[in-house]
Copies of this chain bind each other. A is one copy, B any other.
Amino acid sequence: MIVVLKAGVEPEKQERLVDWLKESGVDVHVSVGEYQTVLGLVGDTAKIDMDLIESLDIVDSVKRVSETFKQANRKFHPEDTVVTIGDVKIGGGNFALIAGPCSVESEEQIVSIARDVKAAGANMLRGGAFKPRTSPYDFQGLKAEGLELLKIARRETGLPIVSEIMNVGDIGLFEDVDLLQVGARNMQNFDLLRELGHTDKPILLKRGLANTLKELLMSAEYIMASGNDRIILCERGIRTFGDYFRNTLDLSAVPMLHELSHLPVIVDPSHATGIARMVAPMALAATAAGSDGLIIEVHNDPAHALCDGAQSIRPEEYADLVGKIKAVREALV
């Protein structure tokens, strides 16, 4: 950690800071420059509260040299992590094609969509059972029953299943779910992350709407610090001033997360855009940016056939998109 002091600091104030830092258990190297003095902190600086130091009167700025995410850091784990879920591999050149409806509604619905997306090329099935809804009056999902229906669809198709978990108390219900999704709103639900780290379940960790890449990696670190390193990161749009779209898909997150971390990174163009006809171009863009997979909402409910423009695309559109995704991946080999 580097601490740059302000110009003209009184020697006794500087000395008190250096003493206090040493008491905190780190070595301090003082470099006196013509215009400023720089303190180099060596040792276990993870314990030092950077915000506190930075807010001191006599301090101009503080810079951490070593990143605070360790286990998620590519520096200490140069090879790509490959997460294996049944027969499916994600990361290290393996591509996840996760598809399915926003919510599980009935056995007929989920089995039918599962068959359709499998035929279209998907290798994993998504479906919401516990739904985080902004309004307490909105449908909150079929919950435990929804998970059972997903398992029926898995039995019928062989596709591993993905569903969102919102609460530590529900972990038991997810024992037989293949991939547990932590949604954007829970990215910093640290108790949930910690408990998921004590399971042996693969985790799909979505980026929060206003969270930086570093914060996303720190949340992965929570899970890893509890002993679970089977994590897939997911970019799904951030909140900006933008009009027209629900969120702004930040595709530059893909190559940067790959540089910072060894964990696989996938993209959710459905939630990011909120508009079905924008899913295909953004899915292709994510593929070209180096994504390790895509999670896409697909529906086939005839009752909603009028919803041409909704966030979910139809199975035949998904099949067409999968063909293009594969073509882009081949073009970039």
Interface pair B34/A31, CB less than 8 Å apart: no
Most chain B beta-carbon neighbours within 10 Å: one of A60, A75, A190? A190
- Contact mask A207-226 → B, CB, 8 Å, 1/0? 01110111100100110011
- Does A254 contact B241, Cβ atoms closer than 8 Å? no
Q: Are A276 and B55 in contact (CB under 8 A)?
A: yes
Given A255-B278, A281-B289, the answer on whether A185 and B189 have CB atoms closer than 8 Å is yes
Q: Is the CB of B56 within 8 A of A308?
A: yes
Flag whether A94 is at the interface (Cβ < 8 A).
no
CB distance from A59 to the nearest CB of B (A): 7
Interface residue from B29, B273, B289 paired with A33 (Cβ < 8 Å):
B29
Contact size range, A: 35 or more
Q: Does A310 contact B (CB under 8 A)?
A: yes
Give the chain B neighbours of A278 by CB distance below 8 A.
252, 255-256
Tell me which residues across on chain B come within 8 A of A61, comparing CB atoms.
Answer: 63
- A173 adjacent to chain B (CB < 8 Å): no
8 A Cβ contacts from A283-303 to B: 284-290, 303
Q: Tell whether A307 is near chain B: CB-to-CB under 8 Å.
A: yes
Q: Are A188 and B132 in contact (CB under 8 A)?
A: yes
Does B188 lie within 8 Å of A212, measured CB to CB? no
**B308 A57 Cβ-Cβ under 8 A:** yes
Name 5 extra pairs, CB < 8 A, besides A7-B66, A17-B306, A281-B289.
A35-B42, A56-B309, A136-B221, A186-B189, A213-B242
Is residue A199 contacting chain B, with contact meaning CB distance below 8 A?
Answer: no
Q: Are B185 and A55 in contact (CB under 8 A)?
A: no
Among B57, B169, B248, B285, which residue has its beta carbon within 8 angstroms of that of A238? B248
Chain A residues 244 to 289 lying within 8 A of chain B, measured CB to CB, are 244-246, 248-252, 254-256, 259, 272-278, 281-282, 284-289
Set of chain B residues within 8 Å of A46, measured between Cβ atoms = 135, 137-138
- Complex Cα distance, B324 from A51, in Å, reads 28
